[in-house]
Structure 1
Amino acid sequence: MPLWQELPLLLIVAFCLAVLIRTFLVQAFFIPSGSMEETLLVGDRVLVNKVLYDVREPQRGEIVVFEGPPNWAPENQIDKDAGFFAELGRTVGDLVGFSQPGEKDFIKRVIGLPGDTVACCDVQGRVTVNGYPLDESSYVYEDSPLDATPNPRQCTARRFDPVKVEPGQMFVMGDHRGVSQDSRCQGQVPIDNVIGRAFVILWPSSRWGWLSVPETFKNVPKNAAAPAAPGPRITRAPQIPLTPDFFVAPLAASAMVSTRSARQQRLRRRRW
């Protein structure tokens, strides 16, 4: 095929591959707020594994992306008065990963699983899970004050009454406890709302690193009323506009390189 025909075809193939990767395998998520500082900063991009939780449930200490329940207040505001072309651009961006996350997209750390009892605080001001105090010094940033009065609508206080995590739910909290609005005041999150696990900081390059599970969670005892292991989970359709903006450019560049290589090979054959 001539170059002017081959190049658009390869770009279309690259676009389709990017959409497939975004939909079923891995996506990049843009951090819109400071609720996970200093683990994740505003503007960071993290890769999210979408396949992992189709074969197992989330684990304590993992950082997950999920769709917020209806009662959760949005962290990321979207301009609803944007014009037609802005909406069209956002829709196209959702397909290939160049848009901002939606209003109901959240990223938090899993603290409690079904059957767990989560509370705060022990005599040293620490969060406990099934009576075990968590050592959160490695990831918690600007914890809420101990002497603040608990508010059921605002997570402004460190103390909260013991919460028994219900079946099919999880208890999540942000690492920046002073500003994070999470399960302390907004309630538990259905596990089925989870989109995937954030496992690496992809951008900026100076902050590249793995998002591992802190050691303290490995010592949490199992709860006495832990439910039986569920069966295989049904694969969910994508629910939030995550952003795989690092897949399209490399694929497009690869397509251009392949086109040039094929062109050079044809020229060599003609010379012979």
Structure 2
Amino acid sequence: MKGRAGKVYFVGAGPGDPKLITVKGAELLAQADVIIYDRLVNLELLNYGKKEAHRIYCGKTPNYPSISQEEINEIIVEHALEGKAVVRLKGGDPTVFGRVGEEASFCLEHGISYEIVPGITSGIAAPTYAGIPLTHREFSSSFAVVTGQKRKDHDPKGDEIRWEGLAKAVDTLVFYMGVKNLPYIRENLLLHGRDQNTPVALVRWGTYDHQETLVGKLHNIVELVEARNFQSPAIIVVGEVVSLREKLAWFEEEGNQEILLKEAMTS
């Protein structure tokens, strides 16, 4: 006979740097019986868990066969019904393109309680580590986060993204999972009125030691990405705030920051 059901904790792992996980997230990892984690989770975070905790990888690697969302839902519920404390560890924040709504709903359908623990989303952290603030009094009073992918079951003739509003009404745009569809993103932004000289940056593996940033303009960013063979995972930032990177970049090239500090002090 099964005992009382356990509990599921949807924990944001943060953007990559293991030190950016929240205190609560680290505490829950240390208490978990089961840790179910994604591809973009820094594996160092698994060291917070108990030695005997069951660790289950359920990442979705692009261009390779991967576990379905339905299977992930079943895995979460299966272990919770055994009375275990389950941490579903998600890269970034669980509520930002993390499908936590689907997984939490599935838990509810099976009588399992849960908590959602926010994390630092890569759409904010990656630009920050690249020296690109998403808002600035002179350049940007608004930003929007947008998926760079289409749903597979969506009508190919339609489009879920309201391009005209994004192109004209929002100062800074942050696209997740959009490297593959960058030509499509550029085409629609230009078609709906975004200036072709708008600065664009791609930040790959944001907050990791091997972070890379590529900067261009809306009219040439696709060609630059192709020339550099710049691959996912990367965050795409579109807006005038990208121009601040030349001055504010601090993470990838600390030497440049020291030069800028000296220039500021002598000017």
Structure 1 and Structure 2 fold alike (TM over 0.5) = no
Larger RCO: 1 or 2 (CA < 8 Å, sep 6+): 1
Scaled by the length of structure 2, the TM-score of the pair is 0.23
Q: Which has the higher helix share?
A: 2
Structure of greater Rg: 1
